[in-house]
């Protein structure tokens, strides 16, 4: 790193740590949502649209009620509604979940831009954060350790989801439905219900991811608020091998990659730093290439998933 001025390496490391936590939160929620949906055997490519609509509706409700948490709740509800539509449409015969996903992505974005026009100027309250860096003298470390409550909630959710798929009846039912329709039917499970519910819950989680974007970081509503987190979640889930705890690590990795550009900028690098803004996209590409093979299906993938069959 010869182009870095002396002594800035640790600054970049600290900025990346803080950035990783900040940037990873939406990745974490949207990938947990995608993970849950895919565990039930469907893939929802519409989460990008859900996320953007969640960001808009969360911001709007927070502005109108004055409560950021009400905004998060509204975003979750909007996301659940999008998931419900996806789930129900895909339950019709001969409907392809990937095509519906792309249609809903465009629909969600368009709807969000339409209703969101009036909320670009106003300032909504932001989500509170917890100061875990009170012990440190370094202002950089302090700001890096200001952690949003949603990040902690996401980690609890990931652990809870890992426990759910292992030790609860509903968890085993979701895995059964996602892995073998024949087996699930023979056991008398209601495939459509399980898949619609999982897709809807997954949509709620990506709605929350959107609310985080507009209500905390970057913390405003505009049309370029998402940088493709909803789409990258698909790669993230593959990278995490459909393991909710793996989603935490994958989200942190993608968060750190996303924080690389701003971190370099913050220490005064003026040349070429914008190339590092592309890091998450390069990482996505790398992950997809590294995990693909023409000769075998991915290990750990739910058997009913249309992309792995």
Partner 1 sequence: MRALSLDEGAIEVEAVGMTMRFGSFTALDSVSIRVRAGSFHALLGENGAGKSTLVKCIMGYYQPSEGGILVAGREARISDPRAAHALGLGMVYQHFTLVPALSVAENLIIAARDTQGIINWRKARARLSEFMASMPFSIPLDQQVATLAAGEKQKLEILKQLWLGRKLLILDEPTSVLTPQEADQILGHVRDLCRAGRISVLMITHKFREVMAFADEVSVLRRGRYVGGGVVAELSQAQMSAMMIGAVTLAQPSPRIGQREGVVLEIGGLCATDRSGLKDISIDGLKVHAREIVGIAGISGNGQKELMEVLTGERPRRAGHVLVKGVRWDASRAKARRLNVRFLPEEPLRNACAPRMSVAENIGFRVFDGLGTGTQFWLRPAELRQHAAQLVRQFGVKTASLDAPISALSGGNVQRAVLARELTGKVDLLVISNPCFGLDFSAVSDIRARILAARNSGAAVLLMSEDLDEILELSDRVLVMSEGRITYDRPVAQAHIHEIGAFMGGAQ
Residues that bind partner 1 (CB under 8 A): 167-170, 172-173, 175-176, 178-180, 182-184, 186-188, 293, 295-296, 302-303
User: Structure tokens of 264?
Assistant: 């370099």
The nearest distance, CB 179 to partner 1, in angstroms, is 4
The nearest distance, CB 296 to partner 1, in angstroms, is 3
Cβ nearer to partner 1, comparing 153 with 298: 298
The nearest distance, CB 297 to partner 1, in angstroms, is 8
DSSP for 26-94? HHHHHHHHHHHHHHTT---TTHHHHHHHHHHHHHHHHHHHS-HHHHHHHHHHHHHHHHHHHHHHHTSTT
Cβ nearer to partner 1, comparing 138 with 292: 292
Tell me: cis bond preceding 218? Omega within 30 of 0 counts.
Answer: yes
Cβ nearer to partner 1, comparing 94 with 296: 296
> Can you name the residues that pair with 131 across neighbouring β-strands?
146
Inter-residue contact 28 to 251 (CB < 8 Å): yes
Give CA–CA dist 155/43, Å, rounded. Answer: 23
Give CA–CA dist 105/43, Å, rounded. Answer: 13
**Is 296 exposed, middle or buried, given 0-12, 13-18 or 19+ CB atoms closer than 10 A?**
exposed
Cβ nearer to partner 1, comparing 1 with 296: 296
Residue identified by tokens 């990506």 is 206
Cβ nearer to partner 1, comparing 142 with 241: 241
The nearest distance, CB 241 to partner 1, in angstroms, is 12
Cβ nearer to partner 1, comparing 13 with 170: 170
The nearest distance, CB 31 to partner 1, in angstroms, is 19
Cβ nearer to partner 1, comparing 30 with 173: 173
Name 222's Cβ contacts closer than 8 Å, sequence gap at least 6: 120
**Is 166 exposed, middle or buried, given 0-12, 13-18 or 19+ CB atoms closer than 10 A?**
exposed
Q: How many residues does the chain have?
A: 309
* Residues 58, 59, 64, 69, Cα dihedral to 10°: 50
The nearest distance, CB 195 to partner 1, in angstroms, is 15
Cβ nearer to partner 1, comparing 188 with 272: 188
The nearest distance, CB 243 to partner 1, in angstroms, is 12
**Is 1 exposed, middle or buried, given 0-12, 13-18 or 19+ CB atoms closer than 10 A?**
exposed
């Amino acid at each position: 790193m010869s182009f870095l001025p002396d002594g800035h390496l640790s600054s970049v490391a600290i900025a990346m740590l803080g950035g990783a936590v900040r940037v990873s939160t939406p990745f974490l929620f949207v990938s947990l949502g995608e993970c849950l949906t895919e565990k039930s055997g469907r893939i929802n490519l519409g989460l990008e649209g859900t996320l953007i609509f969640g960001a808009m509706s969360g911001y709007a409700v927070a502005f109108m009620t004055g409560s950021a948490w009400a905004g998060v709740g509204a975003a979750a509800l909007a996301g659940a509604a999008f998931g419900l539509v996806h789930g129900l449409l895909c339950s019709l015969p001969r409907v392809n979940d990937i095509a519906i996903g792309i249609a809903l992505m465009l629909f969600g974005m368009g709807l969000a831009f339409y209703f969101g026009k009036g909320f670009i100027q106003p300032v909504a309250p932001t989500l509170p954060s917890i100061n875990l860096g009170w012990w440190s003298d370094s202002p950089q470390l302090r700001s890096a350790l200001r952690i949003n409550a949603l990040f902690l909630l996401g980690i609890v959710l990931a652990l809870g989801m890992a426990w759910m798929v292992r030790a609860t009846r509903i968890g085993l039912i979701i895995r059964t439905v996602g892995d073998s329709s024949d087996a699930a039917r023979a056991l008398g499970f209601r495939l459509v219900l399980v898949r619609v519910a999982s897709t809807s819950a997954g949509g709620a989680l990506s709605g929350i991811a959107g609310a985080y974007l507009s209500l905390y970081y970057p913390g405003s509503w505009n049309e370029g608020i998402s940088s493709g987190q909803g789409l990258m979640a698909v790669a993230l889930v593959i990278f995490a091998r459909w393991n909710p705890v793996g989603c935490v690590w994958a989200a942190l990795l993608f968060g750190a990659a996303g924080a690389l550009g701003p971190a370099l900028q913050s220490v005064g690098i003026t040349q070429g730093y914008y190339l590092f803004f592309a890091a998450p996209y390069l990482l996505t590409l790398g992950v997809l290439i590294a995990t693909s093979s023409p000769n075998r299906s991915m290990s750990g993938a739910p058997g009913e998933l249309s992309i792995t069959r």
